[in-house]
Chain A
Amino acid sequence: MYEGLQHLAEGIVSLATPMNVFHIAWATLLGICVGMLPGLTATLGLTLMATLTFHMPPSQAIMILISMYVGAIFGGSRSAILLNIPGTPANAAVALDGFPLARQGKVGQAMGLATVGAVFGTIIGTICLAFFAPFLAERALDFQSFEFFWLAVLGVVISGRLTANQDPLKGWIAGFLGLIVAMAGQDVLQSYPRFAYGYSDMRAGFDLLPVLVGVFGFAELLSVMKTPIYGTVKSATDRVIPKIRDVIRYWKSIISSGITGTMMGLIPGVGEDMGAWVSYAGARAMSKEKEKFGKGSYEGLISAQAGCSASVPGAIIPVLTLAIPGSAPAAVLLAALFVHGVRPGPLIMIERAPFVYEIVAMVLFASVAILAFGLLMTRPLLKVLEVPRNRLMPIIFVLCVVGAFAVNNRVFDVWVMLAFGVIGFFLRELRFPMAPLILGVVLGPILDENLRRGLQLTGGELAPFFNRPICMALWLVIAITFLLGTNWFPRLLAKTQTVIFGGGKGDGPGAPPKDY
């Protein structure tokens, strides 16, 4: 505990140099701008930035990426409030109350409260990061191949379930397609070039960054540009800095949303969108002013933004301790850590404990930056929304091409980016979510290596995969997630409940409408 605080203090001191503060400031500001612009998501911004910072020193590159991540997730609230179009998907819940507030002429107040919500959410998430990461890393030291195998399956299954609520089957398919993509290239045990068909470029498989640039950059560009234009922007004319009594009044919601958001961030591949929605729903359930939610409630706005921003440090926790991303932008961060020679995983607290606390400090500094930019630069920042989309998108595509090329200096990666962009676009159009796909690409090697190593260790015996305590918990969660995604299981549960406890008819109130 004492050692942790000492590392944290050292991390803060080491970051507090003018050059670092400068990097954090511009990266957070750029993140806010990227997040604000509908069509440029946090994942896209981070992916492009990961390729741009490729040649920088590791700590500087990671600092820039984290600042941009925090900034982008916050920045999306601006367009959610002004245009009812969330700049990043994570801010969709913010629009529910932010936009009605803007229509009531309270643009400035809405933006101020969203800023405060984001800052407190990030700080609560950061505190959880500082305390949970070492704890989780210590527990993860007990993990063997069997547990890591189930963890990889769990990530894909949970992410598939939660990001494709109306059709979980498509979420799972996206995840398994991602796992298949990860199988291309030399395998870890025999170095056999799988699915290479004699092409030398395919022997190493698909690099994660070009795939990410394609799925989140090029596909995003296609999705956004296929529709003509989006709405126009109005400026904030009222007070931006929120009243302290408004913030104090909702302190319980801020804290509970911060904790909920962090927990949602922790779940592999689920991330910020769910953090915001679950926090919003939680705050509404606990609120004394339920009727105001959706009509311009300060509490709803502040809770959604706090939950969404708290998910950022939450999503970083499994990245650092298990090498499993909590969200799509966190997957980019994980890829960047690998690229820069940082080996995240259970050993990180033994090998690089100070680095973990440096990351905590980076998130804290970025939250200070969003406070400053969010409150003091609201009006000038809104000018970003006036940049014509037709002028911005060709630049973004050029950066996608150059970013994909810069990873290995080969044109093959540009083709990979193009192919995955087109595939990603059509999958989106067919209602397949992208987060499980990317999570699958990240988790594929973990699943492959640990399943085969586990079977080698046991001589082909499957029992340890099922009867070790953590394995048992993991496969039970996976099985229940699968069952809850079917049509018949929730009905069966409801019927059983009716038989045992009596009362209601039919499916009961808890049965979600599933379709197969």
Chain B
Amino acid sequence: MTNDSNINGEPVEQEEAQSGSVEAVSGRLPPQADLFVGLGLALFGAFIAFESWRMPGPESPLVRYVYEGPGFVPGLLGLVVLLFGLLILIRSLREGGLRLEDTSGQITAMFSRPEPRRLLWLLALTLLYAGALIGRVHFLAGTFIFVTAFILVFDWEFTPTPHGRIRLAVTAGVQAALTSFVVWYVFQNIFYVRLP
């Protein structure tokens, strides 16, 4: 990772330049991480192959030959993923993937950084809204709660004064009300989508 600065003279990390990147596939993971990736993939591939094998085959009246069966192609694909998973696993083992020293320290350090905390908040808010609120409470109410909570959670630490926090709560509420109403109105009355 190299450091540079933007035109304001403020530091901008090169790695950050890739932060929004769909294909930000730079660098390799440590072999310890790849060990679990390879293992997981091999198990997933084996599961898909096994489930495909359980699908109707030539013994079924619908299928005359193996290649006509519904499990033929997914079975092959499962085997390919199993093979690729094993390749990653072997590569990781060859690169010292079993050396798991200092793992506990790494985990503690990981959770004291802002990234995992923000990620946990994000997952909690989004999964709660889309997984639990949508379909159970009215769209307007659910969206209002979600947008307000989202703004408060992520702007709170950047608003240290009590006065600023009151203002933040008010603006969050206004934005949440506007967002939920506009989205609801546009979809319901212009696109004729009956929102849950």
Chain A interface (Cβ < 8 Å from any Cβ of B):
38-41, 43, 52, 54-55, 82-89, 92, 95, 99, 102-103, 107, 163-167, 169-173, 176-177, 179-180, 183, 187, 189-190, 192, 194-195, 216, 218, 220-228, 230-232, 234, 273, 328, 388, 390-391, 393-395, 397-399, 401-402, 405-406, 409, 411, 414-415, 417-418, 421-422, 428, 430-435, 447-448, 451-452, 455-456, 460, 515-516
Contacts A166-B26, A176-B80 given; indicate if A411 touches B135 (C-beta within 8 A).
Answer: yes
Considering the chains assembled together, what is the distance between the CA atoms of A154 and B118 in angstroms?
39
A194 touching B55, Cβ below 8 Å: yes
Which label, helix, strand, loop or mixed, suits the secondary structure of the B interface? Answer: helix
Residues of A within 8 A of B18 (CB): 89, 92
A219 to B195, CA, bound (A): 23
Nearest Cβ in chain B — how far from A269, in angstroms? 11
> Cβ of B70 < 8 Å from any Cβ of A?
yes
Residues of A within 8 A of B150 (CB): 390, 393-394, 397
User: Does B146 have its Cβ within 8 Å of any Cβ on chain A?
Assistant: yes
Interchain CB contact under 8 A, A165 and B17: no
Per a CB cutoff under 8 Å, which of B28, B37, B126 touches A218?
B126
- Measured CB to CB, the closest approach of chain A to B28, in angstroms, equals 6
- The 3 A-B pairs of least Cβ separation, nearest first, read A192-B70, A394-B150, A89-B21
- A169-B84, A222-B123, A455-B67 known; A228+B130 contact, CB < 8 A: no
Q: Is the CB of B194 within 8 A of A86?
A: no
Whether B134 and A431, one on each chain, are in contact in the complex, defined by CB atoms closer than 8 angstroms, is: no
Chain B, Cβ-Cβ closest to A101: B7
Q: Are A409 and B12 in contact (CB under 8 A)?
A: no
Question: Contacting B191 at CB < 8 Å: which of A99, A170, A406, A452?
Answer: A406
What's the Cα separation between A195 and B51 when bound, in Å? 8
Contact between B6 and A84 (Cβ–Cβ < 8 Å)? Answer: yes
CB distance B154 to A433 under 8 Å? Answer: no
Indicate if the CB atoms of A85 and B7 lie closer than 8 Å: no
Task: Considering the complex, give the chain A residue whose CB is closest to the CB of B6.
Answer: A231
Which residues of B, 85-129, contact A by the 8 Å Cβ criterion? 85, 87-88, 90-91, 114-116, 118-119, 122-123, 126-127, 129
Which chain B residues numbered 122 to 158 have a C-beta less than 8 Å away from chain A?
Answer: 122-123, 126-127, 129-131, 134-135, 143, 146-147, 150-151, 154-155
Q: How far is the CB of A98 from chain B (nearest CB, A)?
A: 11
When A222-B123, A231-B8 are in contact, do A38 and B81 touch as well, CB less than 8 Å? no
Q: Do A84 and B4 touch (CB < 8 A)?
A: yes
Q: A409–B73 contact, CB under 8 A? A: no
> Nearest Cβ distance between residue B56 and chain A, in whole angstroms?
6
* Residues of chain B having any CB pair with chain A under 8 Å: 4-8, 10, 12, 14, 16-29, 33, 37, 41, 48, 51-52, 55-56, 62-63, 65, 67-74, 77-78, 80-81, 84-85, 87-88, 90-91, 114-116, 118-119, 122-123, 126-127, 129-131, 134-135, 143, 146-147, 150-151, 154-155, 175-176, 179-180, 183, 187, 191-196
Complex-state Cα separation, A516 to B88, whole angstroms: 8
Report how far A515 CA is from B28 CA in the complex, Å.
Answer: 10
| B16 neighbours in A (Cβ, 8 Å) | 85, 227, 230
Q: Quick check: B193 and A405 within 8 Å, CB to CB?
A: yes
Residues of A within 8 A of B26 (CB): 166
Q: Are B84 and A433 in contact (CB under 8 A)?
A: no
Q: B126: which of A88, A164, A399, A418 is its contact (CB, 8 Å)? A: A418
A433 touches B119 (CB 8 A): no
B91 to chain A, nearest CB (A): 4
A246 to chain B, nearest CB (A): 21
Q: Which residues of A lie under 8 Å from residue B119 when comparing CB positions?
A: 222, 226
